Amino acid sequence: MIRIRDLRVAYGPREVAHVPALDVGAGECVAIVGESGSGKSTTLLAALGLAEGARVSGEVTVCGVDVLRARPRALRAIRGSKAALVIQSPQAALSPTTRLGVLMRRALALHGVTGAPSQGKTQVQGEPADVRGGGPRRGIEGVMAEACEAVMLDPAILRRYPHEISGGQAQRFAIALAIALGAEVILADEPTSALDVTVQAEVVGVLRRLREERGLALLFVSHDLALVSTIADRVLVMKDGEVVESGQAAQVFTRPSHPYTRELLEALP
């Protein structure tokens, strides 16, 4: 899904992120942790070619596309439809004068998702394709409703404007967008940082379910170690733009090898 080698991101003369290696396979969940300013968000954005004004070098392959060298059209083709971005403060990230449903419809139209029965992309594990509601229930409406249900949102929410919904709802809508577009990997930048604790748990639950049921890959960034420990398979720890430790989550958390990692863990309540 995602393969990063020797990624370097620089703003002007300052190098803000350097990641020697990062892989995310289907169904895997990888987390990048660190404090603010560690370069983790930059890494995430650079992975989709969204780091504005930065010089990016290295090798980044997402869903088969060489992000750093691909033509804009190829890049736009995978954005949203194969690799979807979920941002930290979702309400600011959604166009304020566009209803949610309109946004989703436009995105679906952009990527040619019509919800015809032959487009059975969102395959639920364990269920044979022909049983999966083909025929009349499909169509754009169906795709949108399905996506909402997958993240436990009432499809009626699609008629609202972004300022009329809560943070948690906005976050889940962003995930629903990813699902509707049939994304195979979700890149999330601090997906729960702006949410209350109970809502956080909901969103994490949704993400976990999606991993299990649809084989979604997940690359996310967070400074919340406790959250990361509940869902990540592998972890990268970044400090001041450098990766100081990486490995299996269980290992990193129980037997950290780098002093900084130990510091972070000790800071946990």
Partner 1 sequence: MTRYLARRLGQALLVVAGVVTLTFVIMRMVPGDPAVAYAGPKATPEQLAAAREQFGLDRPLYVQLWNYARDLVTGDWGTSLRTRRPVVDDLLTAFPATLELVGAALIVAILVGLPVGIVAARCKAKFPDFSVRLGSMLAVSVPVFWLALALQTLFASHLGWFPVAGEYDNTLDTTSPLTLWTDITIVDALITGNWPIFTSTLNHLVLPSLVVAAYPAGVIAQMTRAALIEESGQDHVRLERAMGFGETAILTRFALRPALNPVLSLIALVFAYSLVNGFLVEAVFNWPGLGRYAFNAISSLDTPGIAGVTLLVAVVYVLANLMVDLLQGVIDPRARAR
Residues at the site binding partner 1, with contacts judged by CB under 8 A: 48, 50, 52, 72, 76-81, 84-85, 87, 89, 92-98, 106-107, 110-111, 161, 163, 174, 177, 181
Query: Based on CB atoms, which residue is closest to partner 1, 172 or 234?
Result: 172
CA 1 to the chain's CA centroid:
12
Query: Based on CB atoms, which residue is closest to partner 1, 44 or 243?
Result: 44
175 DSSP assignment: H
CB of 205 to partner 1, least distance (A): 23
Query: Based on CB atoms, which residue is closest to partner 1, 181 or 195?
Result: 181
Query: Based on CB atoms, which residue is closest to partner 1, 2 or 264?
Result: 2
Outline where DSSP puts E strands in the chain. Answer: 2-11, 14-24, 29-33, 55-62, 65-66, 83-86, 185-189, 217-222, 234-239, 242-248
CB of 93 to partner 1, least distance (A): 4
Using DSSP bridges, classify how beta strands 2-11 and 14-24 pair: parallel, antiparallel or unpaired: antiparallel
CB of 181 to partner 1, least distance (A): 8
CB of 251 to partner 1, least distance (A): 32
Closest CA to 188 of 178, 202, 199: 178
CB of 132 to partner 1, least distance (A): 25
- Name, in order, each residue with C-beta under 8 angstroms of 175's C-beta and a sequence gap of 6 or more: 86, 151, 186, 203, 206, 207, 210
Query: Based on CB atoms, which residue is closest to partner 1, 18 or 79?
Result: 79
